[in-house]
Amino acid sequence: MQQLETRDQFNQLKNNENVIFVFSAGWCPDCRVIEPVLPEIEEKYADFTFVEVNRDDFIEVCQEHDIYGIPSFLAFMNGEEAGRFVSKDRKTKEEIIQFIDGFAK
């Protein structure tokens, strides 16, 4: 999974690609729990670019998109928000797949 490096990169990706942003932080234990299943999820949804967004490095992006809990997921297709799975709760592999299945048809 690629790491978000700049705010411009975020805007480029959201406007030009089918992308799922994974908001996370190194100190977040719930984020570490889902890390082992993310490569499998990325492989299953190869039509999407998965990008990890470090919440601490991109707090303004989080605020602009109402990301107030992590881990959280924000998807864009054709420049439009396609889905959001945003909360402070721990996510399971099944919940993440169900979320993506909701818009990745």
Catalytic residues: 28, 31
CB 16 within 8 A of CB 64: no
As beta bridge partners, residue 51 has: 2, 21
Nearest CA to 74 among 85, 66, 63?
Answer: 85
- 66 vs 93: CA distance, rounded Å: 23
CB 15 within 8 A of CB 74: no
Integer Rg of the chain from CA: 12
